[in-house]
Structure 1
Amino acid sequence: MDKTADDRRMVTAALTGDRRAQEAFYRKFAPAALSVCRRYTQDRSEAMELLNIGMLKVFDKLDQFRWEGSLEGWIKRLVFNCTIDQFRGKRKRPTLEIALWDQPTAEKATQSLYAEDLKKMIDLLPETSKEVFWLFAVEGYNHAEIAQRLHFSEGNSRWHLNKARTLLKDKLASEPFQHNRYAG
């Protein structure tokens, strides 16, 4: 049976208040949405709290989904937006999670750089530049989406990204990062 047709039936039933359809919807899409939340916190209970807040927003806006793209992608985007809003409200910033943290990158300039150092450097960026860098480099947003999300121009988004890159590049070029501090 067609997956999209099944999703449409489930969404239609959920919108009419069918609790079974709402539960099925939650069970189907919560794991993908939880993976978004887990990128921002290692605490499982906090991730579940973020997931539930995000899924409430999804149910609240479910009637606005236009079936022009992936339903799962739309859900993940809403949960991401809610998660970022929660961190913004608490003045707690998401941290960068890097897989294989103990492996140096292949590029010459960052061979001795480890995830711990990168996280510290990103956290030192000015707030708006850090947020633009995060959205662009980690989350994959383009400048138009960032500008709309942060309520400023695309040129301003580009400027903040360039500023963040310049500051990070300068920091990488500084003496403490010229040698591998973990080498024996």
Structure 2
Amino acid sequence: MKVINLHQEEKELIKLAVDKNRHAQQKIYSKYSPKMLGVCRQYIKDIHEAEDVMITAFMKVYTNLLHFKHEGSFEGWIRRVMVNECISFIRVQKKINFLEDENFIEEKSNNIESKLSVDDIQFLIDNLPNGYKMIFNLYCIEGYKHQEIATMLGINEGTSKSQLSHARKMLQENVTKLKNYENGTE
């Protein structure tokens, strides 16, 4: 029985894609596009716009493949391209506002135990104001630190922390409202 080295197979696929091999590019797209659409969807509410951004980001992936150093995961590298493209799209659309909150006091987050579906959670995140949503996704989903977020978005670190705090508070309030609605107590 022959064991196939998957990492080597991926390296070969990347090399072919760098050489503009359409079949290799299609294999990369087919493998990663479902997850990457989910990443784009986290930032962009409209599925059609999210798909457009994903396709644009994949074009950037193909254009910049020769810069991929094979350090870390290829999927992680693609994901970073997707996130950056989402941020660029939202900036161009001017759909994001960050409010400076000089009186910000960081609150401890409450874990709200719930049996919310993935769709419910996505609905709640989608209904956050764009600034809150962006910071929430970058911090909670992508795992960036506030200093990194501040640099990426050109804002103060305190603004990032404030936006996250407000996003969490709004999510908690909306989860409570949703639970009350489901229980018929609202």
TM bin (shorter chain): 0.5 to 0.7
- What does residue 96 of structure 1 align with? none
Out of 106, 116, 119, the residue aligned to residue 113 of structure 2 is: 106
Name the CA shift for 1:117/1:60 in 2 (closer, same or farther; >3 Å). closer
Using CA pairs below 8 Å that are at least 6 residues apart, which structure has the higher relative contact order? Answer: 2
SS at match of 1:27: helix
Of 65, 73, 80, 2:68 maps to 65
Number of residues of Structure 1 aligned to a counterpart in Structure 2:
157
Query: Contact 1:132 / 1:160 at 8 angstroms: preserved in 2?
Result: yes
1:144 aligns to 2:147 (yes or no): yes
CA distance in structure 1 between the partners assigned to 2:41 and 2:168 by the alignment: 29
Decide whether the 8 Å contact of 2:132 with 2:167 is kept in 1.
no
Q: Aligned-residue CA RMSD in angstroms?
A: 3.5
- State whether structure 2 residue 54 is matched by structure 1 residue 47: no
- Aligned match of 2:31 in 28, 32, 36? 28
- Structure 2's unaligned 5+ residue stretches are 97-111, 115-119
TM-score (norm 2): 0.64
For residues 121-132 of structure 1, the aligned pairs below 5 Å read: 122-123=128-129, 131-132=134-135
Aligned CA distance change for structure 1 residues 147 and 24 (closer, same or farther; 3 Å): same
What is the rounded CA distance, in whole Å, between the counterparts of 2:82 and 2:21 in structure 1? 22
Work out the CA distance in 1 between the residues paired with 2:78 and 2:135.
22
Kept in 2, the 8 Å contact 1:132–1:157? The answer is yes
Structure 1 unmatched ranges of 5 or more = 94-104, 108-113
Aligned pairs (5 A) from 1:73-88: 73-88=76-91
Q: Distance in 2 between matches of 1:25 and 1:19?
A: 10
**Partner secondary structure for residue 180 of structure 2:** coil
Identical-residue share of aligned pairs (%): 30
Q: 1:171-182 residue pairs with structure 2 within 5 A? A: 172=173, 180=180
CA distance in 2, matches of 1:73, 1:87: 21
State the alpha-carbon separation in 2 of the partners of residues 117 and 32 from structure 1: 18
